Structure 1
């Protein structure tokens, strides 16, 4: 796909907005790295196991805009698609997810617009994670902008299940046999039980 030809006169506007999304990812990744280091320095423990980032691909963006019936215009993207820039925070324990959420709520450089708790309310597939639709402050040379982004927070067990489920859907071209779907749901329950057990063991150790 020739992107410049595809967008025509809007090409430079789209390129500018994509730069903003890239800046937002850089900003969030840097901030989380500082938080991680601060927690480790002060407390000797950080709830952040690791951080992953991603930018939604252009074909994926176009497909999502078409599904929503949106015109392929940069303002329609900016106002209606909130997950072009994505950050995933992976934790060891389920309680750490909500500790990170509490911290993010207190930041003055981050506005949380929506919280989707798929841990308390898992998807029918068994998927569990905490999703935040946010706007993060990005400092440009001459002004400040707020850029939309999605933050996902999940445990190692949730992340393993989600990554494996995604690979299986890709292998089967999103047509997964019904028996496999049921097994995936059971596997998600097992991952959740593991999180519960590890959290309980952690509490027992901390009480001593």
Structure 2
């Protein structure tokens, strides 16, 4: 992260150097948390391959919020621009997206995450069983991952999204359309079209699961 981009938002301060040092330590914890989550997911995948002889993961993407994105969220939520303010109110500086082939694999991965001692699941938003009005589907988790440091353990928040290929296609397409037309509010006609795409994606997930189950039974 470009720390000075964030820190410029603080304005003048009598101990600017100390703010930089404190923020550097703060952000490093999130970078370490991202490494920890990547390792956890690799272990889950290896365990799954051993148990079921296939990988549930189509792909896994990770990211750290950019300074600009973090600043926009802080301003939008009215969060104090301090380390404590960010720590207590922003939980998705670290993000992980897991994409699977089948919908039931989403919940199997969720169950594996729940069983880990080094991961605490703090909040769940199930947009698969309760889709957004747009038709968007995904399982969103706010978690805390444990870092074992020389001075003891620290729990760092992160967001994990788990969804199928079809769900990911819809979410990515919807996002790109909004940015292409530089608008947060699409016309009703476009919304209706996107909703039909979401329904088609959902039917595709159901059909693929049926085909997979038929193969397993045979």
TM exceeding 0.5: yes
CA distance in 1, matches of 2:117, 2:78: 34
One of 198, 203, 209 as aligned partner of 1:188: 198
Alignment of 1:29-178 (within 5 A): 29-174=38-183, 175-178=185-188
Note the C-alpha offset of 1:6.
4.0
> Any unmatched runs of 5+ in structure 2?
11-15
CA distance in 2, matches of 1:33, 1:191: 28
CA distance in 2, matches of 1:140, 1:190: 47
CA distance in 1, matches of 2:113, 2:94: 17
CA RMSD of aligned residues (A): 1.5
* SS of equivalent residue, structure 1 residue 173: coil
- Which shifted more, 102-111 or 41-50? 41-50
CA distance in 1, matches of 2:150, 2:193: 52
The answer on whether the counterparts of 2:44 and 2:112 sit within 8 Å (CA) in structure 1 is no
CA distance in 2, matches of 1:196, 1:146: 37
Deviation per residue, 1:133-184 (Å, 9 max, x gap): 0000012233211000000000011111111111111101124332111111
Note the C-alpha offset of 1:29.
0.8
CA distance in 1, matches of 2:8, 2:215: 61
- How many corresponding residue pairs? 208
TM-score using structure 2 length: 0.90
The answer on whether the counterparts of 1:90 and 1:159 sit within 8 Å (CA) in structure 2 is yes
CA distance in 2, matches of 1:14, 1:193: 46
In structure 2, what is the equivalent of residue 26 of structure 1? 35
Deviation per residue, 1:30-65 (Å, 9 max, x gap): 111121122113321222222100111112111211
In structure 1, what is the equivalent of residue 216 of structure 2? 206
* SS of equivalent residue, structure 1 residue 121: coil
TM-score using structure 1 length: 0.94
CA distance in 2, matches of 1:124, 1:17: 37
In structure 1, what is the equivalent of residue 20 of structure 2? 11
